[in-house]
Each structure stands twice: as C-alpha cells, then as structure tokens.
Amino acid sequence: KREIMSRHSKNKTSSGRFTYSERQELGYGTKVERLGKDSLKAFDSCCICLNSLISPLSCTKGHLYCKECIYTSLVMQKKQIKEKEKEWLQQLEKNKQLDETKRLKQVEDELKVFESNNVTYLDNTNGGASSSNSNGVKEMEPKLNSFWVVSPQSKESEKNKPDNHTMCPEGGHQIRMKQLIAVKFKQATGEDSVALSTSVQAKYCCPICDKILTNSHSLKLLKRCGHVFCESCIKRTMEGDNKKKDEKQVVGSCFVCAKEFESHEAISLQRGGTGFSGLGQTLEAKKYTPTAII
C-alpha cells in the first residue's frame, strides 16, 4: 500500500537534519565576504604600524617601513637572538654535565658488578655465606619502570642553534640595517594633477610623468638614490639610455639626481590591493565555522 503523507509531514521537526533556518542561525558552513578598498593597505603605509610613512625605509624586496618601526623591530630581534643563544649555550653545558654523570655512573655500575662477581666466587670456594640463592643464581633487584615516571636523566627538549640573522617582518627574508634604503617620494602639489581634490591617497607623484601614485600603479625604487618612479617611466628611461650606451652595463640614469643604475637595482615596491580583482590580490575573507552535528 502507498503511504499517505499528511499535509505538514515535510515540515516535521523530528528529522535528524537541521532545517535551512536553523543552519542560518548556527552559522553553518563557510562565510565569504569580499574586502573593500578601505580594508587593503595603501602603498605608502608602514608594514608594521600600518600608518602613513614617517622617514620611510625600504628593504631589498620593496617592503616599506617607518624608520622608527623597522629599527625597533631589528633591535628587538637582536635581543631575542642573544637570549636564545644564551639558552642554547646553557643547554649544551647541561647536556655535557649529564653525559659526564652518566659516564661516571656507568663506570661505577661496572665496578660494582665486577666486585660482586669476585666476592661470590670467593664465598663459594671458602664455604662461606653467599649472596646468591640456593641454585647459585644471583638475585637481581627489581626495577620498576613506569611510563609516567620522569627519569632524572631525561633530557629536556633539544634546542637548535639560533640563527644570527635578523629577518624582514613582512617578507621573512634576511635583512640588516645597512641594507635598508631611504625612500624619497616626490610630494604632489595642486598643479601636478586634478585628482588631488578627489583622491585620498594623492600625496606623492611620479617625478617624470607627474601622475598621482596609488595602489593601481606599479612603482620602482632605485637602490642607489632612493627615488621612486612609475614602472613605465623607468622602462622608457632604460630603453632610451640603452640606445646611447650599448657597450656599457649601465641601463639608465635617475631623472632627479642623474645617478646611473642597472636593471637589477630597480626594486619593485610592494603594494596593497585596489578593491578590484584584476590586481591579482586575494580580495575575499573566509571564515570556516564548525559543522552542525546532532
């Protein structure tokens, strides 16, 4: 016979599954939210304090920092390295003492075994009382080994030798104070662009084309002098200088200070997103919530 279903049988609450409204209240599944322009770091922001740059410095990979922020970070890293190195030396000394104690104990145990065997042999030949049982087998003291009992000779977790190099807080690569580059932006004025009145980030401009620098521009930093230009302007400068100087390794000269530079000395500055997917940045924030289980 065909089972006759009631009118409200599909809405019954005795099912082992959650309804759609219950899943929504529990936050079931993965929540995805698109990040806006305000949630992304500007190109002229410090990678540590996330504020506008003050006395900007750049690492060899193009990460920008305030002078005070990066110096404080490197000094703190040096202090931590010294502390870790001190702990590592203490551990080596402790392990050395433990190994020496273990060696002395092993020698002592071997001496005791040797003396006990000789005493047993003398007692048996002289007819005296023996430390062994009636069968001539020496009784061993029981050793109670337990998994939960910590042995006094157990060593602590081994600590590796600390790395003496300071690291870039943003990029994670090795960096030193001597490698930091003083960044020189050209301040934008009202005559440079009309976009000053509409753009919030209209603080700096390119010295060649006078375009207002934003996150949508690919920027190049010259390692020798520290001036910042648009990538397209640097390419045009290098192409024009290469026609004049084909035999030399120098590929360009700075438009501001006329210092010559090579192609590998033009560093790409790291920038944030623009709010559009065409920049190649991850513009979605995901939150993984636990699965609803009865």
Q: Is 224 among the domain residues? A: yes
| Amino acid 183: pLDDT | 94
pLDDT < 50 positions in the chain = 1-3, 129-132, 134, 137, 154-155, 192-201, 294
Q: Please, are residues 201 and 216 in contact by the beta-carbon 8 Å criterion?
A: no
Q: What is the predicted pLDDT for the residue at 197?
A: 42
pTM of the model: 0.64
Query: How many domains, in total, are found in the chain?
Result: 2
Cα separation of 201 and 246, whole Å? 39
Nearest partner of 66 among 48, 84, 80, 79, judged by Cα: 48
The SS3 of residue 184 is strand
Say yes or no: 156 and 211 in one domain. no
CATH number of the domain that residue 254 is part of: 3.30.40.10
Q: 38 lies in a domain?
A: no
Non-local CB neighbours of 224 within 8 Å, separated by 6+ positions: 254, 259, 260, 261, 265
pLDDT at position 130 is 46
Residue ranges of alpha helices (H) inside 153-272 are: 231-244
Residues 161 and 95 in one domain: yes
Q: Determine the pLDDT at residue 184.
A: 92
What SS3 class is residue 217?
coil
CB proximity list for 104: less than 8 A, separation 6 or greater: none
Q: Which of 164, 183, 202 is the last residue of a domain?
A: 183
Segments forming the whole domain that contains residue 85: 44-125+151-183
One domain for residues 170 and 201: no
> Does the residue 202 lie in any domain?
yes
Q: Which two tokens stand for residue 265?
A: 């000395």
Q: Using one digit for the tens of pLDDT, what is the confidence trace for 154-169? A: 445 677 888 888 999 9
Domain of residue 92, CATH code: 3.30.40
DSSP character at residue 9 = G
CB-based contact 215:40 (threshold 8 Å) = yes
Question: Has residue 32 been placed in a domain?
Answer: no
> Tell me, what's the pLDDT at 292?
52
78 and 171 co-located in one domain: yes
Predicted pLDDT of residue 144: 57
Residue 55 CA to its chain's centroid (Å): 25
Task: State how beta strands 260-261 and 252-253 pair.
Answer: antiparallel
Residue 294 domain flag? no
pLDDT tens, position by position, 91-137:
899 989 999 999 999 999 888 888 888 765 555 555 554 444 545 54
